[in-house]
Amino acid sequence: MKNKPNRLIYSEEYVCINGIEQYLFHSGTNYNNPVMLFLHGGPGSAESLFAYMFQEKWEDVFTVVHWDQRGTGKTLTKNKDKYPTIEVMIKDLFEVVQYLKKKYNRKKIIILGHSWGSALGSIFIKQYPEEVAYYIGVGQVINMIENERVGYEKAKELIIQCNDKKDLKKLKALGEYPGDKFDDNFMKKCMNIRKIQGKYNLAVNLSFSMLISVFKSPILKFSDISAAIKGSKANKNLLAFLFQFDLNSESKEYKVPMYYILGENDWQTPYVIAEKYFEKMNAPYKKLYLIPSAGHMTMIDQPDLFFDALIDINNKEKTNIDLY
């Protein structure tokens, strides 16, 4: 692991969390900065490997901590047979937060949840609002089935506009989507939909350049590649949970300040669904940022505009003594 910018805070460690050794990656420039815990997507997709691509500026404002969740990345490599359920994940997250509060002498932690991490984060802040300074949702998941339905229809719309008969045939060959059942057939269809969406810049495109980015990561180990391949199997319980996930079925009352940073080109977790939910949400304070020309990986697609949003949020919240 190389610390090229010579950050004051730059370390990897394994910490005993809920009975197993789990991986944390810390980076920052000032021990007095508020601490942000980044909850990655997937489930099963470690975004710690991509941190170098987007968060260097963040570290002037926050101490950023990436956690490879149970069943993901370096934590999965260390614990090959420890697969997560949602109940276990909430307990894991609670213990990670307690550890960070103690390590950095903080009363509360900022939670940033991306994609699957936004579902996990939203559940956690409802259960433990006293632990959280504020919440940032990126690629926010509201209703997974609705996400898939809207994303499918958007792909179909663009295919028809482009008069791409080959892709339209591929889409029709998938049959009814997303359906109402989580099984292997749904997962196969979902992967095919993602490929089509990626072609039209509606979802994350697993391109050659994306793979190169992974290999350039300063914290990459070859075992991370194996863990990524095994991620879906290790997180099958969470994927089944996520398929039925629906924030609309719960109270829209939140006890912490709420921020959403959404990509205007994100149709993997369609921003239009999160916008609609956000309007109905009640919180001590809330603000939504819609980032133009950004997709599901909003912070990578438009890093400067994303950072501007973080600065605006920090300026609003920095007078909150509970951060320190």
- pLDDT above 70: residue 322: no
The Cα-based distances of 305 to 89, 193, 270, 302 in angstroms read: 31, 28, 19, 6
| 118-164 pLDDT, tens digit each | 999 999 999 999 999 999 999 999 999 999 999 999 999 999 999 99
Taking residue 122's Cβ as centre, other Cβ atoms within 10 Å add up to 22
Share of the chain above pLDDT 90, in %: 83
DSSP summary character for residue 60? G
Q: How confident is the model at residue 232 (pLDDT cuts 50, 70, 90)?
A: confident
DSSP summary character for residue 107? S
115, 269 Cβ separation under 8 angstroms: yes
Indicate if the alpha-carbon torsion angle 38, 41, 45, 51 is positive or negative: negative
**Would you state the pLDDT for residue 323?**
62
In the numeric block, the tokens 């300026």 are attached to 315
Share of the chain above pLDDT 70, in %: 96
- What's the pTM? 0.95
Q: How confident is the model at residue 210 (pLDDT cuts 50, 70, 90)?
A: confident
For residue 166, the SS3 value is helix
**Would you state the pLDDT for residue 324?**
61
Q: What domains sit in the chain, N to C, each tagged with a CATH number?
A: 9-142+222-323 (3.40.50.1820), 146-199 (no CATH)
Lowest mean pLDDT among 34-48, 140-154, 164-178, 235-249: 164-178
Mean pLDDT of the chain: 93
38, 47 Cβ separation under 8 angstroms: yes
Q: Which residue has the higher pLDDT, 74 or 180?
A: 74
Question: Residue 284, Cα to own-chain centre: how many angstroms?
Answer: 23
Question: Residue 82, Cα to own-chain centre: how many angstroms?
Answer: 21
Long-range contacts of 90-95 (CB under 8 A, 24+ apart): 90/120, 90/123, 90/124, 90/127, 91/18, 92/17, 92/18, 92/22, 93/39, 93/120, 93/124, 94/124, 94/128, 94/131, 95/17, 95/18
Distance CA 38, CA 65 (A): 6
